[in-house]
Structure 1
Amino acid sequence: MKFKSTRGKVSPIGFIDMFLMGLGEDGGLIVPETIPTVSEEQLEGWAKLSYQELMFEIFSLFTNEEIPEQDLKELIKESYAGFTSPDVLPLTTLNDSLHVLELFHGPTFAFKDVALQFMGNLYAYVAKKQNKVINILGATSGDTGASAISSVRGKEGIQICILHPNGKVSLVQELQMTTVQDDNVLNLSVNGNFDDCQQTIKELFADISFKTKYHLRAINSINFVRILAQSVYYFYAYLQLPANIRSGGVNFSIPTGNFGNIFSGYLAKKMGVPIKQLVLATNENNILERFIREGIYKPEGFLSTHSPSMDIQIASNFERYLYYFYGEDAVSVTARMEQFKAEGQLTFTAEEVARIQQDITAYSVSNEECLETIQTYQDRYNYLLDPHSACGIAAYEGAGNQDDGAFVSLATAHPAKFDEAIRILGIEQKFPERIQELFNKPQRQVIVDNVTADIVEQLESFYKVDK
């Protein structure tokens, strides 16, 4: 298995080089040269595997044996040792058709832990094996930062800087990042929104001399390893359902802002998971819904919502979907992304929209509908949803898909991370101990303006480089 760029100007590279490159050096996103397919017989043969065993089987299709088998098993085992559920990701059945896959049992109570605990351990493994300095740089709308920091804090040979939008993440998300006192962690609180932070990240990764000098590595979903790790739980959810329920295929409702979570499901479907519908749930920042429904990809005014991790206008993984939509034609993808950069929008024909809707359907959830869903499911099932997970459930209900067989809705965060929204409804919840203790810890962060030069100055004084 080799890997290449969506823009076609990166020579095929192996798994470890792909992992270290993160963003393609031509500005594109890294994808596998071919997507391996899993037969129905092989898939059913995995039905009794644990989550860790299943992840090993899937990753082994991509790693080219660059990581010895026992090392890969140990990396996976270590990555999920800190999850509070013995199943890693428990599947909860709410009614005959609706099942909730709980992705929030990791150290920071968010779905990002599923991929980032593994990625942090893999970076530490590579740093030790290759005796390299690894400087991780990422942007977060809230959850990625806390999870990434948790995965590498205090680890030798690794430093991490995370940019987050000042005042635009939940209090718990902020505290999970900024109360970490390890010297290999730098939090930059940027006076802007997530898209501003992410744009700076892309600019710095596209600056090859800067990236090379400071050994920059990506932990955002621009890194294909993140996408691959997230694809595992689509396999797992499907196989956790009883055979008679999953026999006709399964639907997924997926809260997403950066298109990474749903692209992971798209990858799993292409690999062979019998997925009938991928329902994309957005909040009021609904650029992705308009793309899927109307064929218009155009950022509009940024809105702050009860689901801040989805308050995103420009979705990093959109380009990966375009690559497959255009038949893996790097020239077409490059032209479209250059057009988007020049004009600020993309439009698609009616025929193209029809093809898009064969892959993905979409539903936009208002702030009011989000809160109503939380209240309804608390009353009906005594099941408390966080605002992002509620968007997934609202999309399942609002899109009118309840009669289309089994639905799995992804619960992406513990409700304690977004108590501001929960309290609006008058619902009191008990915080997990690891969250409660955050409120008494001192914070450490640097507030910077949304100016690339100011951010670079902070990075140059923080990162270590080879002498």
Structure 2
Amino acid sequence: MKYISTRGSAAALDFEGVTLAGLASDGGLYIPESWPRFSDNEIAEMAGLPYAELAVRIMAPFTAGSLTEEELRGLCHAAYGSFAHDAVTPLVQFDQQHWLLELFHGPTLAFKDVALQLLGRLFENFLSRSDDHLTIVGATSGDTGSAAIDAVAGRERIDIFMLHPEGRVSEVQRRQMTTVLAPNVHNIAIDGSFDDAQAMVKRMFTDPSMATSHGGRFRITAVNSINWARLMAQVVYYFAAALQLGAPQRKIAFSVPTGNFGDVFAGYVAAQMGLPIERLIVATNVNDILHRALSSGDYSAGTVTPTAAPSMDIQVSSNFERLLFDAGGRDGAALAEQMRGFEASKAMQLTNAQREGASALFTSARVTPEEMVKAMRWASDHCGEIIDPHTAIGLYAACSMEIDAAMPIVTLATAHPAKFPDAVSEATGQHPELPARLGNLFEREERFDSLPGTYEAVRDYVAQRATESA
């Protein structure tokens, strides 16, 4: 399997190459040269497989040439053996049409664990083949940071630098990052938004001074969903849910609360691979750039509004570029010009081809804070389920869609409600408790550095400490 950049000018790489590179050298995102596709019979044969075995079946075409099937199997069993639920991503029924896909049974209680527990092991496997030292630089709006840190803390020849917007993540989210005191973990709180942090990370990948100032002794890579390997691992749970609900004989719809578009793009990949997905509902909060882009073609960034669903407080959705490339005709040169215009002006209109390509599978909804609370109360009062604010946004969007009542709609539950206790308590009157496996999180020592929201400050911080480690 070879991978190409959405912006057309970076060299094609194999799976190992794109995993270690993260972002393409031309500023684009890597995507498979072509989509592998399963027949209905091949999908039907996957029914009943344990999650790790299903993961091997789904991911093997993407890793071909870089991992043997046995190597991939060992990595998958190690990654998913650490989850608190044997099903890894279990389904829960709300009513006759609506289902919940619980993605929070990993070590940090968020869907990011499904991919990052595997990604950490992939990094370690590939590093064992060389003398490289890997420097991971990432930005988090709440959950990616803790999941990535848990996946690589203490691993040899890896350092991780994680940026989060100071004061804009929940206390549980922050502590899950800052109480990990492993020497290879560096937490950075920046004065700014997640979009600011994400822009710094992407700039670092194309900064010539970062490429030359370290003497080539280590390589920079990403754990955000700009890294293809992360997104690939998320494709699996779409297959897992759909198979349990009757695929391939039955079509399924999914509602996905999303800010950076990675989680829902994984559903798009599943559809390209042959999974019978009728509709992907993109659920946003009031930071609604994705809703505006999909409903009217207006991809223009506004000011980030802090909400009770901080992981969605985003105005620049990195993974949307992958959809624009694939659905718009795979013209890398044209997309590169389009994205340069967006990066300069923070405003862009989708082309007719991009809009038509997206509308074949995607629809969207903008959910207000009041509607989010309404969904949390409905889940609690009518179904006995306590859900977090992000999941509630997905559920409200799912319930607002006019979809045939005979078709299952699966809402992705992206985080455990105990990560957002104040919002949950205010909406439902119930205080969600942290699972016992998180132990004394609120008693542990925290360690992080606060930096001004300037690229130079963050770049110099990373360069100095990464050089010392290499």
* In 2: Cα distance, 1:357 partner to 1:35 partner: 19
* In 1: Cα distance, 2:464 partner to 2:352 partner: 51
Partner of 1:121: 121
- For the residue of structure 1 that corresponds to 2:260, the secondary structure is coil
- For the residue of structure 1 that corresponds to 2:56, the secondary structure is helix
Partner of 1:62: 62
What is the CA distance between 1:247 and its match in structure 2?
Answer: 2.6
What is the CA distance between 1:350 and its match in structure 2?
Answer: 6.6
1:442 matched to 2:445? The reply is: yes
Q: Which one of the candidate residues 432, 435, 459 is aligned to 1:432?
A: 435
- For the residue of structure 1 that corresponds to 2:174, the secondary structure is helix
Query: Please, which runs of 5 or more residues in structure 1 have no aligned partner?
Result: none
1:184 matched to 2:187? The reply is: no
Partner of 1:239: 243
* In 1: Cα distance, 2:178 partner to 2:103 partner: 23
* In 2: Cα distance, 1:466 partner to 1:354 partner: 48
What is the CA distance between 1:354 and its match in structure 2?
Answer: 4.7
Q: Work out whether residues 36 and 61 of structure 2, in 8 Å CA contact, stay in contact via their aligned partners in 1.
A: yes
* In 2: Cα distance, 1:364 partner to 1:151 partner: 33
1:82 matched to 2:82? The reply is: yes
1:321 matched to 2:323? The reply is: yes
Change (3 A) 1:236 1:176: same
* In 1: Cα distance, 2:68 partner to 2:295 partner: 45
Partner of 1:132: 132
Q: For residues 229-288 of structure 1, what are the alpha-carbon distances to aligned partners after superposition, in whole Å with 9 as ceiling and x for unaligned? A: 111111111112246xx6331000001000101111011101110000000000110010
Q: Which one of the candidate residues 455, 460, 470 is aligned to 1:457?
A: 460
Q: Which one of the candidate residues 395, 398, 401 is aligned to 2:397?
A: 395
- For the residue of structure 2 that corresponds to 1:200, the secondary structure is helix
Q: Report matched runs for 1:170-181 at 5 Å.
A: 170-181=170-181
Larger deviation, residues 337-346 vs 173-182:
337-346
Q: Work out whether residues 328 and 357 of structure 2, in 8 Å CA contact, stay in contact via their aligned partners in 1.
A: no
Change (3 A) 1:349 1:205: closer
Q: Which one of the candidate residues 210, 215, 223 is aligned to 1:219?
A: 223
Q: For residues 207-247 of structure 1, what are the alpha-carbon distances to aligned partners after superposition, in whole Å with 9 as ceiling and x for unaligned? A: 2451464411111101111111111111111112246xx63
Partner of 2:205: 205
Partner of 1:308: 310
Residue type at the aligned position of 1:431: L
Query: Please, which runs of 5 or more residues in structure 2 have no aligned partner?
Result: none
Residue type at the aligned position of 1:442: E
Q: Work out whether residues 133 and 464 of structure 1, in 8 Å CA contact, stay in contact via their aligned partners in 2.
A: no
Q: Which one of the candidate residues 294, 297, 322 is aligned to 1:295?
A: 297
Q: Which one of the candidate residues 283, 286, 295 is aligned to 1:284?
A: 286
- For the residue of structure 1 that corresponds to 2:380, the secondary structure is helix
What is the CA distance between 1:70 and its match in structure 2?
Answer: 2.1
Q: Which one of the candidate residues 329, 332, 339 is aligned to 2:334?
A: 332
- For the residue of structure 2 that corresponds to 1:61, the secondary structure is helix
Aligned alpha-carbon RMSD (Å):
1.6
Partner of 1:155: 155
Residue type at the aligned position of 2:225: S
Q: Work out whether residues 301 and 315 of structure 2, in 8 Å CA contact, stay in contact via their aligned partners in 1.
A: yes
Residue type at the aligned position of 2:457: D
Q: How many residues align structurally?
A: 465
Q: Work out whether residues 10 and 25 of structure 2, in 8 Å CA contact, stay in contact via their aligned partners in 1.
A: yes
Residue type at the aligned position of 2:21: M
* In 1: Cα distance, 2:86 partner to 2:57 partner: 19
What is the CA distance between 1:410 and its match in structure 2?
Answer: 0.4
- For the residue of structure 2 that corresponds to 1:150, the secondary structure is helix
Q: TM-score, normalised by structure 2?
A: 0.96
* In 2: Cα distance, 1:85 partner to 1:265 partner: 22
Residue type at the aligned position of 1:359: L
1:42 matched to 2:48? The reply is: no
Q: Report matched runs for 1:9-20 at 5 Å.
A: 9-20=9-20
* In 1: Cα distance, 2:65 partner to 2:355 partner: 40
Q: TM-score, normalised by structure 1?
A: 0.96
What is the CA distance between 1:461 and its match in structure 2?
Answer: 2.5
What is the CA distance between 1:344 and its match in structure 2?
Answer: 2.0
Q: Work out whether residues 286 and 305 of structure 2, in 8 Å CA contact, stay in contact via their aligned partners in 1.
A: yes
- For the residue of structure 1 that corresponds to 2:278, the secondary structure is strand
* In 1: Cα distance, 2:468 partner to 2:273 partner: 39
Q: For residues 145-192 of structure 1, what are the alpha-carbon distances to aligned partners after superposition, in whole Å with 9 as ceiling and x for unaligned? A: 000000010111111110000000010000000001111000000010
* In 1: Cα distance, 2:355 partner to 2:458 partner: 39
Change (3 A) 1:41 1:194: same
What is the CA distance between 1:8 and its match in structure 2?
Answer: 1.0
Partner of 2:234: 230
- For the residue of structure 2 that corresponds to 1:24, the secondary structure is coil
Q: Work out whether residues 329 and 353 of structure 2, in 8 Å CA contact, stay in contact via their aligned partners in 1.
A: no
Q: Work out whether residues 55 and 229 of structure 1, in 8 Å CA contact, stay in contact via their aligned partners in 2.
A: yes
Partner of 1:98: 98
Q: Which one of the candidate residues 423, 426, 447 is aligned to 2:425?
A: 423
What is the CA distance between 1:300 and its match in structure 2?
Answer: 1.1
Q: Work out whether residues 327 and 353 of structure 2, in 8 Å CA contact, stay in contact via their aligned partners in 1.
A: no
Partner of 1:357: 359
* In 2: Cα distance, 1:211 partner to 1:123 partner: 20
Q: Work out whether residues 91 and 101 of structure 2, in 8 Å CA contact, stay in contact via their aligned partners in 1.
A: yes
* In 2: Cα distance, 1:411 partner to 1:153 partner: 26
Change (3 A) 1:121 1:96: same
Partner of 1:382: 384
Q: Which one of the candidate residues 263, 272, 282 is aligned to 1:261?
A: 263
Larger deviation, residues 95-104 vs 192-201:
95-104
Identity over aligned pairs, percent? 40
Partner of 1:371: 373
* In 2: Cα distance, 1:240 partner to 1:34 partner: 27
Larger deviation, residues 205-214 vs 424-433:
205-214
Change (3 A) 1:327 1:352: closer
